[in-house]
Structure 1
Amino acid sequence: MESLLSGKFRRYHHLSLIQHLLIPSIVLLNIRDLFLVIAGFFQAFTRLLLWRPDVVFTKGGFVCLPVGWAAWLLRIPLVIHDSDVYPGLTNRMLAKKATAIATGAPLENYPYPMEKSHYVGIPIDASFRVLSDKERAAVKKELGCDPDRPLVSVIGGGLGSKVLNDATVRSSNQILTSASLLLISGKQQYSQLVSQVPQDSAFVLKEFVSNGVADILGASDIVVSRAGATALLELAALRKPTILVPSSRLTWQVKHAATYAAAGAVVCLDETRFDDEADTSYVDAILTLLASPKRRNELGASIAKLATPHAASDMADIIYSVARK
């Protein structure tokens, strides 16, 4: 493994073009990073010239831009993969130069040329599988929950989500009348929440889960989550009834959630409504699903249709076929 220099183009949806040009910290960092991209391009060009690989595969993100440009200039076949339904700047810039493009969502969500685009999904860990009733009960007992009660798990991504944390704590007493409740809060707010959550054995608060998250989600009867691309396909593999609360600041999460909601695969909530203390959309959505096993089964069946269990092998086939040409 080797590293190379690269830089990112900072742009923020809540700022206008004029604001981007007037804020020194943004302008100076973007100018600096332009030179880093140029330096990274020469590094990548030199290494690819020496290595002469049969194909170059990039996964998106700003670090891939100088590598993709160098591969194109050296006439080395380029394969790119785009996980998000909202294509990033790097993949948009490399798409015309790519020999093949793989996507994490159906092709109608992308502006890429259809003749070289392939829907493969996103490879996920094999631990994300449907658990048997016995396995689910064992995981619930290990968490300290009643194996005979439904389990609602709330996870806000790797860093946690203050919006989900606060909404869950506010609604916890109502939810606990019908189910056990697991909240993975993230490190930033954990110490604060310890003193705020109900002192009830049916409420499990965890700062972070490094191992066994697939089992925890697999044992859950309802999962409340953000709308990251990989997380959604993990939930699809688990056939899990899901409530999505996409971050309103992240365009790709909003689009992911809309795509899954349009397929009838999730319940989607608007986090901006949670600011109103009178709003009950969060707890209502959870209690409605808890009261309807039939609806949970319908959501589980619908989200399972979006799973891509062969994503890794399909991606490998594309890379291999391009390399052989």
Structure 2
Amino acid sequence: MKKRIVFTGGGSAGHVTVNLACIPHFLEEGWEVAYIGSAAGIERELTKDLPGVRYVAISTGKLRRYFDWKNVTDPLRVSKGVWEAARFLRTWKPDVIFSKGGFVSVPVVMGGWINRIPVVIHESDLTPGLANRISIPFASKVCATFPETLSHIPKHKGVYVGAIVREELKRGDRQEGFITCGFSHHKPVLMVMGGSLGAKRINDAVRANLPTLLEKFQIIHICGKGQMQESLRYDGYRQFEYVQEELPHLLAISDLVVSRAGSNAIFEFLALAKPMLLIPLSKAASRGDQILNARSFEKQGFCQVLQEEELSNERFLQDLLRVWERRTGYAAAMRQIRQEDALKQVLELIEQTAR
């Protein structure tokens, strides 16, 4: 009888990309694979074209740290999601569950615990997010990207594995990237991305400085859904709402990156030795995990950090040009880092847990 694995995680691309790196291995090894996510989340969009993967949608609610009337109804949705996940898991009988986090993962982890199915969690950030903090008591093992994270996890559960970087990102084709954007080979390329959901303040700062930036760079601007401005048409400026298959090729031609500080993304830039200006989400809009991620990278000499509270059009341009001047040092520091094969460690841990 074939072994079976359930993946879960969603709400943002960062909660899906590690799953996308793991899934092909299990398919190649002959496992049956299912993915439990929300009905309309980005996880469904990113996994819809994966052959051989069964998608199961459940009810889910957002776990908020602030007052909202939906805090009254969302616990009911989470409870319904636990029942739906537990029912599917009881019927399908997977050998193991792998959870990447995000709100949708909580009902799945609880449903696995109810059915006595072992759960492996992956935590990307330096400190566990709320969804993972709720889920950790129900898990068998917790994989950590940062060694500091182990202090927040029970000793018998925590395993430091390092960062998982999708192999396809290392196989980008520069010529394909130049063709996709219609760029020349004779001018450096700046990539700006605010995460899968975009970042309006970063978008505004880029657009306010476009004429000046275009004197020095060609610009790939990944804006986020619904945030493109079709009226902005310049030679050397290409907008995208979101990229997936094209990303390896666009990174291959990028000489400098402006980004939020989600763990998955910044470790991918580290693996590719891309100098970074990081603008982490502020504590007003998040739990502060991106700030911790960015500080860790800044201490190691990989990037410069611009806090969102200090972001202005003038400061953005000033800091970006400073990173460009120091790009050689940043790239050299990143190339000195020996990254372990985190993906291999995680795959082995999942298989051991299933046994």
TM-score category (smaller protein): 0.7 to 0.9
Give the superposition deviation at 1:90.
Answer: 2.4
Counterpart residue number, 1:57: 98
TM-score (norm 2): 0.73
Contact 1:130 1:239 in 2 (8 A): no
Give the superposition deviation at 1:227.
Answer: 1.4
- 1-side partners of 2:112 and 2:179: how far apart? 52
Counterpart residue number, 2:63: 9
- 1-side partners of 2:242 and 2:321: how far apart? 25
- 1-side partners of 2:94 and 2:64: how far apart? 31
User: Structure 1: where are the runs of 5+ without partners?
Assistant: 13-19, 21-25
Alignment partner of 1:170 is 2:208: yes
Alignment partner of 1:96 is 2:96: no
Match of residue 45, structure 1, among 83, 86, 92: 86
Contact 2:96 2:353 in 1 (8 A): yes
- 2-side partners of 1:307 and 1:8: how far apart? 37
Alignment partner of 1:323 is 2:346: no
Give the superposition deviation at 1:268.
Answer: 0.7
Moved more, 119-128 or 81-90: 119-128
Alignment partner of 1:183 is 2:214: no
Moved more, 176-185 or 89-98: 176-185
Alignment-mate amino acid for residue 112 of structure 1:
I
Higher helix share: 1
- 2-side partners of 1:243 and 1:307: how far apart? 22
Q: 1:42 to 1:167 in 2, by over 3 A?
A: closer
SS in 2 for 1:300: helix
Q: 1:30 to 1:265 in 2, by over 3 A?
A: same
Alignment partner of 1:222 is 2:256: yes
Give the superposition deviation at 1:141.
Answer: 5.9
Contact 2:225 2:241 in 1 (8 A): yes
SS in 1 for 2:226: helix
Contact 2:214 2:236 in 1 (8 A): yes
Alignment partner of 1:313 is 2:344: yes
SS in 2 for 1:128: helix
Match of residue 147, structure 1, among 164, 185, 198: 185
- 2-side partners of 1:57 and 1:187: how far apart? 28
Counterpart residue number, 2:301: 264
Q: 1:145 to 1:69 in 2, by over 3 A?
A: closer
Contact 2:176 2:249 in 1 (8 A): no
Alignment of 1:269-280 (within 5 A): 269-275=306-312, 280=314
Match of residue 289, structure 1, among 310, 315, 323: 323
- 1-side partners of 2:223 and 2:60: how far apart? 32
- 1-side partners of 2:262 and 2:138: how far apart? 27
Alignment partner of 1:209 is 2:243: yes
Q: 1:63 to 1:187 in 2, by over 3 A?
A: closer
Larger Rg belongs to: 1
- 1-side partners of 2:236 and 2:84: how far apart? 55
- 2-side partners of 1:107 and 1:213: how far apart? 30
SS in 2 for 1:260: helix
Counterpart residue number, 1:15: none
- 1-side partners of 2:138 and 2:156: how far apart? 14
Give the superposition deviation at 1:219.
Answer: 1.0
- 2-side partners of 1:109 and 1:164: how far apart? 32
Contact 1:121 1:308 in 2 (8 A): yes
- 1-side partners of 2:201 and 2:150: how far apart? 28
Alignment-mate amino acid for residue 342 of structure 2:
A
Give the superposition deviation at 1:242.
Answer: 0.9
Higher strand share: 2
Give the superposition deviation at 1:179.
Answer: 2.8
- 1-side partners of 2:62 and 2:323: how far apart? 42
Q: 1:50 to 1:172 in 2, by over 3 A?
A: closer
- 2-side partners of 1:168 and 1:315: how far apart? 38
Alignment of 1:59-78 (within 5 A): 59-78=100-119
Alpha-carbon RMSD across the aligned residues, in angstroms, is: 2.8
Q: 1:72 to 1:209 in 2, by over 3 A?
A: closer
Give the superposition deviation at 1:83.
Answer: 2.1
Q: 1:72 to 1:167 in 2, by over 3 A?
A: same
- 2-side partners of 1:91 and 1:184: how far apart? 28
Q: How many percent of aligned residue pairs carry the same amino acid?
A: 32
Moved more, 304-313 or 219-228: 304-313
- 1-side partners of 2:331 and 2:296: how far apart? 16
Give the superposition deviation at 1:149.
Answer: 2.1
SS in 2 for 1:264: coil
Alignment-mate amino acid for residue 190 of structure 1:
M
- 1-side partners of 2:304 and 2:138: how far apart? 38
Deviations 1:56-95 (A, max 9, x none): 3222122222332233344332211112223222211222
Match of residue 126, structure 2, among 78, 82, 85: 85
